[in-house]
């Protein structure tokens, strides 16, 4: 009993000593480890949706990257297996994964991790999927997560297969900053978050598979209206123009006339190491447009019935005075007087400003009428494109105290100053003219889809079916064609197709008298001139070399885009058989014999009218007074050798061999002669055919 009591006392003393050791001497360290190791809830993102081009090409997608860890104390990994396979694993890691460490170094690092009880030993971050698949085949790792301790935590990186192609339009999402389509459609693209549980340790966060997780839902995919081939054309043409003219930045937009779909949009700016899409000038930058705005001035005067295109206007050799300000034409022409049409075609500031000043600047009511005409063209409203940050247009109000209205405001507004528009807002007007007065809303996204199901479909949106009257549309279309045929853009004219448009040159710092002149060159228009398919605008800011006029800087970029669209789009090409001549019965094939379906197919291929009077086998017959081919029935008895003269070899072989007749032939082409006369009973003879 004394011995047993002594043992109990000794055990109690030992337990007490251990409690003192843990609480007093090791307590702080252990409490710190406990504080560092606990289960936390973590939000898990689903896979972000992909952004596609109109033809299904990937514009932006999430590429999986993995952070790799190793748990040498995984539940299914015994010490025996670890020690046995450690050398092999170290060899594979050194030679096929990361040669920064030798085989021996890998061996020592892994062994030390095991001895100190690591459960989340760091291997490498941002590893690609193929590399992860390779590691899954390594010794120990091939046993999986529980049996081999191999941990691959998935992350995502947004990849753009076409690099800078429409990069700014596609945009990005970083914390609270949302740009472009990625930002506008973030709620669809990101999907729904799930919940996972992590064991937080000093070595890192270890996913806990034995706790109930909520699986995230992957994001939806966005299908845009962008055509990759046309985007490449627009971007390269713009880049070449910027480089040649040593400009600061530029933008170009290509729009489908009938629908308003943006087929290409490029924004390129100069950066320290070259060129990049740094800002969406097409949507986010509103500037004084210059002479491209003269189209709006002409529409206003034509709609109000103030001018006819053949009316005369005084140019005074390109110089005039409005109150205390002098206005001059950009290029000398020496004309004292000309027609309204010619004044527009040569982009005369004096001519257009004088007309608008005469008809609208005589009273406050007249000024309000002019501004209201601009509002009828929706120039005071943004386009509503699905991109954040669209700059608001600025049109002065006559009765506004803050707009600093003066006697010179109307003439300067008439030629594209004292108002501000983005390139997309300006293009919307030109697209409306090309679309015969129907205004379409520009848009970039046609479908949102999730696993093949349409979540949301975006149809072309008509803002107004009649913004401009038909009579005015015809007149301004002829004006824009005249600019290219006879006016400021005549050097851009093509011998292969016709396009219409207007040049624009705006002085950016005209209010600063001592400033070095900087210009904005632009060209807006559409092609083909008749039945337009695309509208396009090119704006280049501050060109320093080889001119600064719109016709010399932006016009050639527009022309290059149009040329290459004609090459890529077969619908733009004029068909050679657009005007089919009346059928000549003397030139139609006659007495051609064969299988009826084949003869009908040939006739349809050449759009030849056919009167079908046959069963299975037929003969072509023509009549001099009828412009059609008649298919007459050709009777074929199965018991006699048919007359196959005039047939092709395929039809002749089919008919003869189906009657058990052996066929020998010589030559090429159709059957000219047959050795056995048609109508002879078929008894397995051999027949010789001569082709020619």
E strands in 189-318 = 194-201, 204-207, 221-224, 249-256, 262-271, 274-276, 312-314
What tens digit of pLDDT does each residue of 312-363 get? 999 999 999 998 899 999 888 889 999 999 999 999 999 999 999 999 999 9
Residue 395 has a pLDDT of 96
**C-alpha gyration radius of the chain:** 40
Q: Judge whether residue 111 has pLDDT over 90.
A: yes
Q: Judge whether residue 589 has pLDDT over 90.
A: no
Residue 681 has a pLDDT of 87
88 vs 107: CA distance, rounded Å: 9
Residue 191 has a pLDDT of 81
- Confidence band, pLDDT 50/70/90 cuts, at residue 575: low
Taking phi over 0 as left and psi of -120 to 50 as alpha, with beta for the rest, 73 belongs to alpha
DSSP symbols for 158-186: EE-TTTTTTHHHH-EEETTEEEHHHHHTH
- Mean pLDDT of all residues in 659-675: 87
- Mean pLDDT of all residues in 396-402: 89
Q: What is the number of helices (H) and of strands (E) in the chain?
A: 21, 33
- Mean pLDDT of all residues in 429-444: 97
Q: What is the pTM of this model?
A: 0.72
Task: Say how far residue 349 (Cα) sits from the centre of its chain.
Answer: 37
Residues pairing with 60 in the sheet = 51
653 vs 661: CA distance, rounded Å: 9
| 3-class secondary-structure state, position 371 | helix
Q: For residue 111, give every residue at least 6 positions away whose Cβ sits within 8 Å of its Cβ, in sequence order, or none.
A: 86
439 vs 433: CA distance, rounded Å: 8
Residue 258 DSSP class: T
104 vs 94: CA distance, rounded Å: 9
Cα within 13 Å of Cα(51), Cβ side: 31
Cα within 13 Å of Cα(222), Cβ side: 27
Residue 423 has a pLDDT of 98
The CA-to-CA distance between both ends of the chain, in Å, stands at 128
Residue 42 has a pLDDT of 66
123 vs 97: CA distance, rounded Å: 10
Q: What is the mean pLDDT of the chain?
A: 87
Domains defined for the chain, CATH in brackets: 42-224 (3.90.1310.10), 230-249+270-443+464-572 (3.40.710.10), 582-635 (no CATH), 638-692 (3.30.10.20)
Contact 219, 188 (CB under 8 A): yes
Give the Cβ contact number of residue 647 at 10 Å.
25
* Least reliable range by pLDDT among 65-79, 161-175, 203-217: 203-217
* Least reliable range by pLDDT among 400-414, 480-494, 546-560: 400-414
What tens digit of pLDDT does each residue of 197-212 get? 666 655 555 565 555 5
E strands in 382-423 = 394-395, 419-420
354 vs 363: CA distance, rounded Å: 15
- What's the Cα-to-Cα distance from 407 to each of 45, 298, 604, rounded to whole Å? 60, 20, 69
Residue 585 has a pLDDT of 47
């Amino acid at each position: 009993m004394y011995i047993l009591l002594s043992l109990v006392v000794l055990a109690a003393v030992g337990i007490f000593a251990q409690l003192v050791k843990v609480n007093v001497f090791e307590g702080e360290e252990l409490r710190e480890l406990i504080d560092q190791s606990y289960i936390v809830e973590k939000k898990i993102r689903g896979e972000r949706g992909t952004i596609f081009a109109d033809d299904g090409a990937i514009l932006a997608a999430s590429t999986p990257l993995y952070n790799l860890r190793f748990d040498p104390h995984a539940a299914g990994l015994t010490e025996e297996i670890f020690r046995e396979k450690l050398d092999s694993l170290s060899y594979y890691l050194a030679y096929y994964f990361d040669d920064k460490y030798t085989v021996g170094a890998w061996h020592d690092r892994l062994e030390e991790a095991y001895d100190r009880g690591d459960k989340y030993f760091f291997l490498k971050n941002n590893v690609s999927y193929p590399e992860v698949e390779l590691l899954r085949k390594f010794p120990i790792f091939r046993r999986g997560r529980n049996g081999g301790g191999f941990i691959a935590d998935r992350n995502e990186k947004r990849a753009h297969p076409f690099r800078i192609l429409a990069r700014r339009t596609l945009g990005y999402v970083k914390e609270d900053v949302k740009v472009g389509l990625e930002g506008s459609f973030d709620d669809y693209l990101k999907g729904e978050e799930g919940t996972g549980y992590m064991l937080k340790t000093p070595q890192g966060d270890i996913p806990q598979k034995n706790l109930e997780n909520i699986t995230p839902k992957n994001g939806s995919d966005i299908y845009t209206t962008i055509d990759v081939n046309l985007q490449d054309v627009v971007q390269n043409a713009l880049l070449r123009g910027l480089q040649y003219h040593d400009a600061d930045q530029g933008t170009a937009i290509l729009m489908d006339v009938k629908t308003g779909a943006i087929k290409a949009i490029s924004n390129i700016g100069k950066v320290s190491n070259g060129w990049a899409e740094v800002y969406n000038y097409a949507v986010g930058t509103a500037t004084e447009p210059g002479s491209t705005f003269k189209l709006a001035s002409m529409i206003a005067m034509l709609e109000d019935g103030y001018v006819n295109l053949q009316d005369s206007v005084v140019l005074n050799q390109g110089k005039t005075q409005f109150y205390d300000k002098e206005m001059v034409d950009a290029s000398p022409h020496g004309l004292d007087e000309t027609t309204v049409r010619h004044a527009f075609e040569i982009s005369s500031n004096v001519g257009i400003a004088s007309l608008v000043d005469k008809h609208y600047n005589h009273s406050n009511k007249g000024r309000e009428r002019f501004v209201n005409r601009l509002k009828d063209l929706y120039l005071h409203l943004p386009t509503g494109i699905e991109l954040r940050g669209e700059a608001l247009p600025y049109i002065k109000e006559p009765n506004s105290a803050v707009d600093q209205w003066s006697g010179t405001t109307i003439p300067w507004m008439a030629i594209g100053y004292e108002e501000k528009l983005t390139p997309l807002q300006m293009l919307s007007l030109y697209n409306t003219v090309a679309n015969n007065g129907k205004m379409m809303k520009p848009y970039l996204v046609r479908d949102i889809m999730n696993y093949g199901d349409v979540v949301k479909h975006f149809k072309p949106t008509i803002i107004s079916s009649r913004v401009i009257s038909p009579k005015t549309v015809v007149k301004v279309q002829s004006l824009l064609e005249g600019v290219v045929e006879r006016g400021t853009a005549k050097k851009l004219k093509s011998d292969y197709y016709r396009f219409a448009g207007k040049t624009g040159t705006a002085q950016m710092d005209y209010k600063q008298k001592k400033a070095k002149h900087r210009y904005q060159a632009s060209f807006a228009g559409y092609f083909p001139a008749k039945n337009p398919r695309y509208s396009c605008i090119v704006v280049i800011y501050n060109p320093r070399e080889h001119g600064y006029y719109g016709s010399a800087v932006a016009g050639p970029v527009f022309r290059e885009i149009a040329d290459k669209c004609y090459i890529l789009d077969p619908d733009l090409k004029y068909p050679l058989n657009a005007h089919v001549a009346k059928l000549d019965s003397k030139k139609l094939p006659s007495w051609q014999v064969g299988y009826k379906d084949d003869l009908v197919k040939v006739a349809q291929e050449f759009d030849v009218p056919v009167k079908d009077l046959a069963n299975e086998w037929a003969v072509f017959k023509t009549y001099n007074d009828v412009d059609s081919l008649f298919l007459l029935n050709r009777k074929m008895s199965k018991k006699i050798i048919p007359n196959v003269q005039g047939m092709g070899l395929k039809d002749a072989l089919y008919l003869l061999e189906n009657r058990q007749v052996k066929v020998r032939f010589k030559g090429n082409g159709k059957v000219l002669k047959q050795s056995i006369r048609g109508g002879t009973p078929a008894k397995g003879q051999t027949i010789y055919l001569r082709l020619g």
